[in-house]
Structure 1
Amino acid sequence: MGEISKIAVVGSGAVGGFYGAKIALKYDVSFLMRRDLEAVQAKGLKVESCDGDFELPEAKAFATTDEIGPVDLVLIAIKTTSNDVIANLIPPLLKPDTILVTLQNGLGNEELLHGLFPDQPLMGGLCFVCINRGEPGTIKHLAHGKVEMGEYTDMGVAETVFNLFQECGIHTQLWPDLGLARWRKLVWNVPFNGLSIAAGGIDTQQILANPELFERTKNLMHEIIRSAAAHEFEIDESFVDANIERTQSMGPYQPSSLIDFLAGREVEVESIWGEPLRRSQEKGVETPELERLYHEICDAVANRTN
């Protein structure tokens, strides 16, 4: 594995734009963009952050990966609802040793990428951050920002990527078991992203303030922990209270799935709720709250579309 110098961000929305911008302060980063393309090409990329605002006045923004060309590291942050385009988006960026890092939500992303690009080093990253997109060319970083990552392949690239993130001021934790890290992230994502939609478009503070939704939140968390255990990923039950306490400190935060839902965009239903439900059923784990929430979200999305 050679030295990393050129990096591409595929999916430069809130998550990809924020972490890509942090890295671009020290490295050559190219951003694949859609909505913000013209704004960033004209005025650069601005990050309004709780840790201090910064700008990339000459951010490299492109409409296609063919324009970017081969790089050393690819950060994949597109919504999982667009995973069907990955097979065509990624190849122009690849060299024999190009590292792929998916920062996507839910389950199944590493399996998909490894199936498409079996010879590439592959890692997964879980982003614990409160972040939204503002006007075109602007990202609003509200709180947190930690990335937990692990290697899916066994090619010895984890330390290299970890050190790069750390060098760029990103609080990063390296996990020897990426699968465990994925299920831990679901303990938060499943209830808060889901109930915010199912309960009619409310934020995390409103969820925790409602006794019924608070109880559902805890039940969903415990179901995910039981399902993880069935897959041999042990998560201590105390993780439930830790997540609730962390969420209380966020204030009235709108999860990313709710923002997508309210904006009429596709919601990552299958990767965040559908796939964990199917994997639970395969192991014979009863998850009635997860199944209920999955159907509520499917109905909400269908009714919104109609």
Structure 2
Amino acid sequence: MPLKSVSSVEIPSELGRVAIIGAGAVGCYYGGRLAQHGHDVHFLMRSDYEAVSKKGLHITSPLGDVQIHVNAHQTTADIGPCDLVIIAMKVTSNAALLDLLPPLLHENTALLTLQNGLGNEEFLAQHFGAERVLGGLCFVCINRIAPGVIHHIAQGRINLGEHIRAPVPRTHQIAAEFQRSQIDCQVMESLAAARWQKLVWNIPFNGLSIAAGGVDTETILANPTLETRVRDLMAEIIQTAASLGHSLPENLIETMVTNTRTMAAYKPSSLIDYLERREVELEAIWGQPIRHAAQAGLTMPRVQELYEELKVKLTQSS
């Protein structure tokens, strides 16, 4: 597709001033879409700062390729107070948020975490106040393939919800602005249920991609033994969620497996971290659900087995 160059020119919106913390594939893709459609977006950039400052963000996508001129900063103090802070950094770096977030906050700043696993909203609520916190579950195939270059392969939906309450006007305002920015965004009545629904995909595919020897989703589903294990893991997660009061769609397993087949040879984010010797989000994606279930007197033997396999793999690679 021809490359379209876009300047980030602010237009009135319900989002106000937006900061992106965690400028990897997820942060750059969604932040880039917001900037592309006129929102006042500011990116905290580390390794990609020089490239993005000079050339902007480059998104390749089935929706059309685009080069977006964006506001890149090296510190959150340079960004200053914002109305919405979108957190897309790895869960393994959450401790850094204690220093990164304060310069971005004013009295009514909202914090939206797009991170994987369980416990992220609770972490933000503990340190910055529960009323600020929202969560978003991203169903998207994206990779960062070079500094400032994001390859969008398929999908892109965000399921959005409030941490401690049902949706309020700001929830719908954020969703509407996302939708206006070429982002499929659905408001969820229960963020906790949405988190467990995302785990139904993340636990088996991110986990087996590593445990099976560094394989992509196409390879997993081409192997009958691995596909059976995917389905068994999914069933256990759905049953656990139901026991915790989170009812998930009856056809979720078939829907997720069918959708994953359309991704072709997709490498999940945990596999990329593993192959590039970065820290994998082991506890947030696999450990926390097991512990969360245990607090309610529940066991997850299939997830536990995969968790133990991953601990061995990660120890061997370190």
Question: Normalization by structure 1: what TM-score?
Answer: 0.96
Question: Secondary structure in 1 aligned to 2:59?
Answer: strand
Shift, 1:120, TM fit: 4.6
Residues 121 and 157, structure 1, Cα contact 8 Å, conserved in 2: no
Matches of 1:188 and 1:4, distance apart in 2:
30
Percent of paired sites with the same residue: 48
Whether 1:140 aligns to 2:151 is yes
Shift, 1:300, TM fit: 0.9
* Aligned partner (choices 239, 245, 249) of residue 232 of structure 1: 245
* Aligned partner (choices 152, 172, 175) of residue 188 of structure 2: 175
Counting matched residue pairs gives: 303
Runs (5+) with no aligned partner, structure 2:
1-12
Query: Which residue number in structure 2 is paired with residue 72 of structure 1?
Result: 83
Residues 221 and 227, structure 2, Cα contact 8 Å, conserved in 1: yes
Distance 1:131 1:153, change over 3 A: same
Question: Secondary structure in 1 aligned to 2:146?
Answer: coil
Shift, 1:119, TM fit: 6.0
Whether 1:284 aligns to 2:297 is yes
Aligned residue identity for 1:163 = A
* Aligned partner (choices 151, 163, 168) of residue 162 of structure 2: 151
Whether 1:36 aligns to 2:52 is no
Aligned residue identity for 2:242 = A
Matches of 1:282 and 1:120, distance apart in 2:
25
1:251-270 matched pairs, under 5 angstroms: 251-270=264-283
Residues 197 and 261, structure 1, Cα contact 8 Å, conserved in 2: yes
Matches of 1:89 and 1:6, distance apart in 2:
16
Residues 226 and 285, structure 1, Cα contact 8 Å, conserved in 2: no
Question: Secondary structure in 2 aligned to 1:134?
Answer: strand
Shift, 1:286, TM fit: 2.7
Whether 1:293 aligns to 2:306 is yes
Query: Which residue number in structure 2 is paired with residue 54 of structure 1?
Result: 66
Query: Which residue number in structure 1 is paired with residue 258 of structure 2?
Result: 245
Query: Which residue number in structure 1 is paired with residue 98 of structure 2?
Result: 87
Matches of 1:121 and 1:304, distance apart in 2:
38
Shift, 1:4, TM fit: 2.8
Runs (5+) with no aligned partner, structure 1:
none
Residues 198 and 297, structure 1, Cα contact 8 Å, conserved in 2: yes
Whether 1:214 aligns to 2:227 is yes
Q: Per-residue CA shift, 1:20-75, capped at 9, x if unaligned?
A: 00001211110011221111112111111121011113x11111101100011100
Shift, 1:283, TM fit: 2.2
CA RMSD of aligned residues (A): 1.3
Distance 1:3 1:205, change over 3 A: closer
Query: Which residue number in structure 2 is paired with residue 110 of structure 1?
Result: 121
Shift, 1:212, TM fit: 1.3
Matches of 1:153 and 1:124, distance apart in 2:
10
Query: Which residue number in structure 2 is paired with residue 196 of structure 1?
Result: 209
Shift, 1:121, TM fit: 2.2
Aligned residue identity for 2:278 = R
Aligned residue identity for 1:90 = L
Query: Which residue number in structure 2 is paired with residue 275 of structure 1?
Result: 288
Shift, 1:241, TM fit: 0.9
Q: Per-residue CA shift, 1:126-146, capped at 9, x if unaligned?
A: 010000001111000011111
Matches of 2:233 and 2:99, distance apart in 1:
36
Whether 1:10 aligns to 2:9 is no
Greater shift, 149-158 or 225-234, is seen at 149-158
* Aligned partner (choices 112, 121, 129) of residue 101 of structure 1: 112
Query: Which residue number in structure 1 is paired with residue 7 of structure 2?
Result: none
